[in-house]
Amino acid sequence: MVSAEQWVVWDSVVEVDVTEGAALSAASALIARVIEDTESVCDLRRGDAEIHAVNLSQGEPVKVSRRMSALLRSALWAARMTDGVVGPLAAARFDDEKIPPVHPVPTYQDVQIDDDIVFAPWGASFDITETAKADTVARAAELVATELECGAAVRIGEVVATAGHCPAGGWQIDVPSDGVVELVNGTAMATVGRSGAADDPLPNETEWEQVTVVAADPLWAYAAAEAALARRIGAIRWIEQHDLRARLVDRSGREYTTENWTLHAPRL
């Protein structure tokens, strides 16, 4: 029997499902602390967030906490795996009058991390919110499973991670705008979609309306889904090359699923 709880934080719906009802309250408290730890270092809306010190370093090495270093490493890993589609640097408009022409536009490849020292080039500004959420989902699920000795499925937004032992029948996870998909123990799922579709002046520029990916961990699931969304028609080959389990829906509502994708009937 699975017990669940939902709440909203960090602009996202957070949900925890556990296989032991008695562990639900403690699981929610653990997850709340993990989220707070992450927010405190990388939420750009918080004036005390550690990420501001990194963004203000502007070409100078800066010492960071272990958590900040881990989150930046995760963001850089996602960038490498997706050829920069999912990157740690915020999209910025550069003012030619303020930025000397000798400074090229920074990319994720220019960022270096040595233990707890981060070096980013002049002009770099980090925004790692989404990869940090995926990283936090993985951390939270593992923590609940380990400390409370139960199975756990943790969701932040549309990124889900599972850990511990599965409930009978596996984890039945909702897929936005569809039914449910079964996740085996230790796998993760992420769904991403285009925003502003109705106002898109170039409707043929993006092939997919929504992409869902199941992978070994939530960071890879999220990064792969974002990369597939950006690759348009090339996403199918890219997904297959990486042997991912995925469902892609185009603007007309037509769907493509990989051979290893199995959806169950929607819950009534």
**Which pLDDT belongs to residue 1?**
72
**CATH code of domain 3-19+150-264:** 3.10.520.10
pLDDT at 104: 78
Tokens at residue 117, please? 């020292």
> How does residue 262 score in pLDDT terms, banded at 50, 70 and 90?
confident
First vs last Cα of the chain: how many Å apart? 18
Tell me the mean pLDDT in the region 71-81.
97
Closest CA to 118 of 39, 79, 67, 60: 60
Q: Are 30 and 93 in contact (CB under 8 A)?
A: no
Q: Percent of the chain at pLDDT above 90?
A: 76
* Highest mean pLDDT pick, 51-55, 182-186, 203-207: 51-55
Residue 30 burial by Cβ neighbours in a 10 Å radius (0-12, 13-18, 19+): buried
pLDDT of residue 205: 47
How confident is the model at residue 263, as a pLDDT? 53
Tell me the pLDDT tens digit for each residue of 91-147: 655 455 555 556 678 999 999 999 999 999 999 999 999 999 999 999 999 999 999
Q: Is pTM beyond 0.85 here?
A: yes
Write down the pLDDT at residue 177: 78
Here the tokens at position 102 are: 């000798």
Q: What is the pLDDT of residue 265?
A: 41
Residue 255 has pLDDT above 50, yes or no: yes
Average pLDDT in the chain: 89
In tens, the pLDDT along 190-228 reads 999 986 444 454 555 458 999 999 999 999 999 999 999
